[in-house]
Structure 1
Amino acid sequence: MIATLDDTKRSAIAMKLADMKVLQQLLIDNEQLFLQQSTDSEIRDRFRKMLEDDQKNMGILDTVIVQYGVRSQPEKTITQMVDTVKKLMHGSELNFYAKVFQHELLKHQQVMSGLTIHKAAQKVGADVMMAIGPLNTINFENRAHQEQLKGVLEVLGVRELTGQDADQGIWGRVQDAMAALSGAFGSAVTQTSDKSDMNIQDLIRMDHSKVNTLFTQLLATNDSQKIQEYFGQIYKDLLVHSIAEEKVVYPTVRPFYGDKDTQELYDEQAELRVLLDQAKAINVSSPQFKEKVREIMDAVGDHIRQEESTMFAAIRNNCSTEQTEQMATKFKSAKSEEQQKMAKESGMIK
């Protein structure tokens, strides 16, 4: 069987996430430019805060893409659009008002992309919903940014038409609108991570939760195509996770976790890879396949219990917050490199 199979729905979501990343960088570039071009201190302050949010959200988006585990390039039309907007933003064809207007449209596009991914994930699978969960934070903040940009546009538009300042009460209305949004969506958003610099325990725990969800989905269906798809994702996720841990986490924890316990984690993952390859060789329609999957699930469960109890405790007792966040960054980077390598080998990314 093909262990790295991606169905069309999962691949489509991966492409939409890649589109969002390209667009997120454009939003950041625009806001950096606006800070240079704006002469109004209050407007600059709003763009400065917006820029801080968008830079943080780029980190969250990177985490979502790595956690999702399916790689794609952005659509060609999106990259062409980004190139066109960049030229307009750096050129003299548009005045400041028109540039901010285009920026608000880009924010709207980003909001709709995020919401579309969220709705599509509900149809594709619980593991996808779990992987893209932090995207809710980006969706909410982009929607709040839209309200702020409407306020900026009103101020700039009145100045352009009359040469006079608009009623500054507009900023109060913007804050009221943002408060209403927070009341509508805040409870859902705050349940997800709202920071880009998660610690290593957060990221490992997210991987564990996702793979357990995939096991549940696989064992609950008798559709051979779905079984193959779920196993393909389990296979890739566990392989990428184990490689990243062995490159980043285990060498870091060995001095204070101990040679014996650390080596046990290495050995467990080596055995898991053997079990995965054994399952890969079994026809998914055979009763033996699910028996092998249950064996893998049990082995993964034992491994998870050791990591989340004794290894996590050792990390908490021996590493500072900054060190656990740095480890998370390296872990995420190692996963990303391995995912891109797999995608190139499978022909998903040229």
Structure 2
Amino acid sequence: MTNATNLATKLADLELFQNILLESEQNLIAQTDDKTICERLEGMIESDRENLSTIKAVISRSGNVVEPRDITQQHAQKVRQMMGGSELTLYDKYLQLELLKHQQTMTGLVIHKVAQSLDDELQDLVEPLNRVNFENRAHQEILKGVLYFVGTRELAGKEPDMGLWGSIEQGIAALKGALGSAVS
């Protein structure tokens, strides 16, 4: 495989899992009673839809459209089954979502670094993924808070300290500030 084909394959994997993230978030909204958590998920869904459009635009501009790898498609199917099934607790499903966000962030960062190492044209092509990477990273911080809340309720049957959301919001604001600096 050529470098361009390898990169196109990773972009196809990225697009597939962006769709899986959206499906998982929508499934979790239907399973979650907490209004604050649902609002956070709705914000992530809105952001992830925009991120999917960005990923599709990068793929389209590359002119090298390929299918995701077979193993990636199999992984996506397993995630769909787990997130849509009843075997996992709500906490387990949110944990899986956070892991998927981490996977997306790292894949996006690696794609960006690889493109930088190959040539300026590829670097310019994938530059819009930086925003996607930062937003996925911010979503991970939100999901950490969700995991604290859902996990505490599930494991202890008690409400967690509400001051945690404030700390999470501060962390997200710092990430958004870093994103703004990186983009400008």
Q: TM-score, structure 2 length as denominator?
A: 0.96
Q: Letter of the aligned partner of 1:16 in structure 2?
A: K
Which among 83, 86, 90 is matched to residue 80 of structure 2?
Answer: 86
| Alignment match, 1:280 | none
The answer as to 2:64 corresponding to 1:63 is no
State the shift of 1:180 in Å. Answer: 2.1
- Gapped runs of 5+ residues in structure 1? 1-6, 192-350
| Alignment match, 2:21 | 27
Distance 1:96 1:28 in 2: 17
Moved runs in structure 1, 4+ residues, more than 6 A? Answer: none
Q: Letter of the aligned partner of 1:58 in structure 2?
A: L
| Alignment match, 2:4 | 10
Distance 1:87 1:25 in 2: 14
Residues 138 and 172 in structure 2, CA contact (< 8 A), matched pair in contact too: yes
The answer as to 2:182 corresponding to 1:184 is no
| Alignment match, 1:171 | 165
Residues 131 and 179 in structure 2, CA contact (< 8 A), matched pair in contact too: no
The answer as to 2:108 corresponding to 1:132 is no
RMSD of Structure 2 on Structure 1 (CA) = 1.1
| Alignment match, 2:109 | 115
- Could you tell which deviates more after superposition, 176-185 or 48-57? 176-185
- Gapped runs of 5+ residues in structure 2? none
Residues 20 and 80 in structure 2, CA contact (< 8 A), matched pair in contact too: yes
Matched pairs, number: 184
CA radius of gyration, larger in? 1
Which among 46, 53, 67 is matched to residue 47 of structure 2?
Answer: 53
The answer as to 2:98 corresponding to 1:96 is no
State the shift of 1:186 in Å. Answer: 2.3
Residues 10 and 124 in structure 1, CA contact (< 8 A), matched pair in contact too: no
Residues 159 and 165 in structure 1, CA contact (< 8 A), matched pair in contact too: yes
Residues 82 and 88 in structure 2, CA contact (< 8 A), matched pair in contact too: yes
State the shift of 1:135 in Å. Answer: 0.8
Q: Letter of the aligned partner of 1:152 in structure 2?
A: V
Q: Secondary structure at the match of 1:71?
A: coil
Q: TM-score, structure 1 length as denominator?
A: 0.51
Distance 1:135 1:159 in 2: 36
